Structure 1
Amino acid sequence: MQIRNFTPRTYQLNILNTCKANNTLVCIPTGLGKTKIAIMLAAEVLDKRPEAKVIVLTPTRPLADQITKEFQECLDIDKEKIILLTGETHASKRDVKYEDSQIIIATPQTVQKDIENNRIDLDKIGLLVIDEAHRSRQKFANTIVSKNLSEKGTSRILALTASPGNTKAKIDEICENLGITAVEIRSESDEDVKEHVQKKDAEYVEIEFPEQLKRIHTMIKDYYKERLENVKSFGIYKPLSVVNKTDLILLQRRLQGEIQRNNQSAFYGMSLVAQLLKLSYMLETLETQGVKSLNYFLKKLETETSKASKTILANPKIIEARKELDKLKEQDIEHPKFNKLLEIIKNNLETNKNFRIIIFATYRNTVDNIYNLLNNSGIRAIKLVGQNLGLTQKEQIESIKQFNDGVYNCLITTSIGEEGLSIKEADIAIFYDNTPSSIRKIQRAGRVGRMKEGKVIFLVTKGTIDAAYYWKSKKDETKMKNILYKMKDKGISVKQNSLNDFK
């Protein structure tokens, strides 16, 4: 079997050599051709085992469709032998499709179900490719499928990702779950990659946190500190000044266990922690999102019946903070990020009216606010959010198509736009807010600088959690790369789990 319509690059061939001999985790930047490595390995496997089949797992239907087309274009094989299989295909027909095809691209859940229902002859699978392999946590469908094949011992496994995780434990977990025995990593500075990397500028834009918002922030923070004093009696021994959201979530889990043991005081503790988590969210929302987003959250609290929500809304400091928020709303005062975002977009579109710009925001409410701001300012913007937030898959695909075709030059999106959808390369990616996750940072930034030069712009509120998240994700990305290079050089010595470990 021959590849066609592309010429393998040196680093792809070097990585391929490792993949032929080992179950391999491949970590290379977005846009450097991870799928091409899978295509080359599929050709190698099918050359040696013409009767074998290849399964490619990818998390979303749109991405599966894209990969199917890429395999069909790049392999010298009858297109009908390369199929896209989804849960929408009736079960009675899937047996025949597996039998008649040679390369199957599907979502992990679809293949897991078909294995459970004995629709797949596992002895015939010669290669399993797992796209977006960082999703391969314990009991996830990727993991279950991989374990079923590993126990047969007849299939090579290739795991692909731009970012598997920021700790050795997380990376080891993926390797254990997928039966990985080797790691290949490349970054923009590697000799065999340099010539194929496009210039990608990064711009750090610091935004002052204005006095009007600081006053409201202080009111909420004072109440947060008052409530925090009360957690001491529930076994928090750290200085209260360094207690964070993670500590509160761990305490919440412990209190849930106490409730199951009928500890009555744990009910109060649970309500207290719920208040603290909501107050923490309010502080973060004001720092990173804006006035409208905080107002939206407070109105949402009014609809809740929990004691935590009612206690917060009844507190004098919160009542005063809401009055101040109302004054800002009347004066049309927002977080200065909005004006800076508008200024950046206008300046860039004046430079080139055909620029495509992606704006990332964590919350749907912020996406709506940015959408209204841009369209009211004469900028052609469209939004892309998840199906659980209001768009059907058909509407998502249509939004992406209109952005790809240039009908709109700005796409505002939540995490749904970070991975799993076929969005054409943009010229500029703007982080309206910052994420502490190195995986999400890498995925966001990967939307630019693939085939042409690009720019990533980070909007960061000075002296807030926004800045902390920016530096954390940057530090974790460096840490992740260092871990992977060590694993590549020294090899892998992780426990290989059996299928029984996930039942």
Structure 2
Amino acid sequence: MRGGGRGDRQATLFQVWGTPPAAAPEEAAAAEEAPLPCPVGFAGGAAGSVWLFPAGAGVEERGYQARAARAALFQNTLLCLPTGLGKTLVAAVVLGNFYRWFPGGKALFLAPTKPLVAQQREACAALMAIPARHMAALTGGTQVADRKEIWQNKRVFFLTPQIMANDLSRGVCPAVKIKCLVIDEAHRALGNHAYCQVVKELCKYTRQFRILALSATPGSDTKAVQQVISNLLISHIELCAEDSPDIQPYTHQRQVEKCVVPLGKELAEVRNAYIKVLETFAGRLIRLQVLSKREIPALTKYQIILARDQFRKNPSRTENSGPKSLLPCGTSLGEEKAQE
């Protein structure tokens, strides 16, 4: 493990969220030199003066990860990295340092599904020296009374945002002790998602906590990204695109191989049954010259809609034309949708 320098000081954790009034230049200079206050329960010297990053033990030191970890310790950070480039390592570093800094505090890792919760717990435990007896994974199967005891006795938690939101609203979780919140797949933090509920509810009890949001795809457009930033109180973004120079030595050229998987016996039987039903109606449309394609298995929904629209424009081209003639067309659309 290696430590960060004393210049990497905490920026906002021990202050209330919001923009403070501007200070005079001389006051600002004095404030810059003054040490940050040590909160109750903080272990060791000036707040955040030393932080640890894993070295050796199979961990490759990458500059962009160390830079992101340092930023995430001292600012609410949205970390955007392509899949497979080490977001979990950065999260483990942040969790491990807050675990060490605050012996009486709680550090949380939120993931949207139970399999991801288990996966992230295993990965973080392997990366940072956190004793297993201090970690816990909470699921919906854990009784409320048991969860309350776990919240009191453990220090690092892995859980889904739904469990976290419920425990906060019930008063089961000691909210004021939470010092670090890691949010996986943070692009989900839109509208009234459980991630948003957790942050809003947590702010009712305390604002002295750090947020690290992880995502490979932060949003489909700038509006969505801004919502994530606002909902998760983000003040800093660490972004590396696939063509970023920092990550080029660690990426590999992708080779896409198309693999066509056959339906299999069971699915093929179901498909053939649908085709027989479709033939009953599409065959009549072909005889009425509404459809011209006789290969029913290749018939698409678009072809049926196009034929229907053309028939409506010129309904007198067949002897049997009329409103009733379109009934098989509507039924064929339903059958085609079922086949899809």
TM-score by length of 2: 0.63
Identify which of 146, 151, 174 aligns with 2:228.
Answer: 174
Q: Which runs of 5+ in 1 are unaligned?
A: 206-210, 228-310, 326-362, 367-503
TM alignment of 1:126-275, pairs within 5 A: 126-151=179-204, 152-202=206-256, 212=295, 213=298, 217-223=302-308
C-alpha distance in 2, partners of 1:43/1:199? 33
Question: Is residue 2:130 matched to residue 1:118?
Answer: no
Question: Is residue 2:326 matched to residue 1:317?
Answer: no
C-alpha distance in 1, partners of 2:107/2:247? 28
Inter-CA distance 204–94: structure 2 relative to 1 (3 Å threshold): closer
TM alignment of 1:81-100, pairs within 5 A: 81-100=134-153
Identify which of 19, 23, 36 aligns with 2:72.
Answer: 19
Inter-CA distance 223–58: structure 2 relative to 1 (3 Å threshold): same
Indicate if the aligned counterparts of 1:3 and 1:43 stay in contact, CA closer than 8 A.
no
1:79 alignment partner in structure 2: 132
Question: Is residue 2:55 matched to residue 1:43?
Answer: no
Displacement of 1:318: 4.1
Indicate if the aligned counterparts of 1:71 and 1:82 stay in contact, CA closer than 8 A.
no
C-alpha distance in 2, partners of 1:57/1:313? 57
Displacement of 1:105: 0.2
CA deviations over 1:135-190 (Å, ceiling 9, x no partner): 11121111111123345211100111111212111111111111111111112221
CA deviations over 1:240-271 (Å, ceiling 9, x no partner): xxxxxxxxxxxxxxxxxxxxxxxxxxxxxxxx
Inter-CA distance 9–322: structure 2 relative to 1 (3 Å threshold): closer
C-alpha distance in 1, partners of 2:99/2:324? 63
1:308 alignment partner in structure 2: none
Quote the RMSD (CA, aligned, Å): 3.3
1:328 alignment partner in structure 2: none
1:58 alignment partner in structure 2: 111
CA deviations over 1:383-433 (Å, ceiling 9, x no partner): xxxxxxxxxxxxxxxxxxxxxxxxxxxxxxxxxxxxxxxxxxxxxxxxxxx
Displacement of 1:224: 5.8
Aligned residues: 241
The letter of the residue matching 2:106 is K
Larger Rg: 2
Inter-CA distance 365–90: structure 2 relative to 1 (3 Å threshold): farther
The letter of the residue matching 1:90 is Q
TM alignment of 1:335-484, pairs within 5 A: none
Q: Which runs of 5+ in 2 are unaligned?
A: 1-51, 260-292, 313-322
C-alpha distance in 2, partners of 1:312/1:100? 72
More helix by share: 1
Helix, strand or coil at the partner of 2:255:
strand
C-alpha distance in 1, partners of 2:163/2:188? 15
Indicate if the aligned counterparts of 2:75 and 2:210 stay in contact, CA closer than 8 A.
yes
Inter-CA distance 319–147: structure 2 relative to 1 (3 Å threshold): closer
C-alpha distance in 2, partners of 1:322/1:39? 51
Indicate if the aligned counterparts of 1:16 and 1:40 stay in contact, CA closer than 8 A.
yes
C-alpha distance in 1, partners of 2:76/2:148? 27
C-alpha distance in 2, partners of 1:104/1:95? 13
Inter-CA distance 215–172: structure 2 relative to 1 (3 Å threshold): closer
Inter-CA distance 319–83: structure 2 relative to 1 (3 Å threshold): closer
Indicate if the aligned counterparts of 1:147 and 1:179 stay in contact, CA closer than 8 A.
no
C-alpha distance in 2, partners of 1:87/1:224? 52
C-alpha distance in 1, partners of 2:235/2:334? 56
Indicate if the aligned counterparts of 2:96 and 2:130 stay in contact, CA closer than 8 A.
no
Displacement of 1:214: 6.5
1:68 alignment partner in structure 2: 121
C-alpha distance in 2, partners of 1:45/1:322? 57
1:438 alignment partner in structure 2: none
Displacement of 1:73: 1.4
C-alpha distance in 2, partners of 1:11/1:312? 67
TM-score by length of 1: 0.43
Displacement of 1:121: 1.4
Displacement of 1:198: 1.8
Inter-CA distance 18–312: structure 2 relative to 1 (3 Å threshold): farther
Worse-superposed segment, 218-227 or 180-189: 218-227
C-alpha distance in 2, partners of 1:123/1:26? 25
Displacement of 1:312: 11
Inter-CA distance 104–214: structure 2 relative to 1 (3 Å threshold): same
Helix, strand or coil at the partner of 1:32:
coil
C-alpha distance in 2, partners of 1:313/1:56? 61
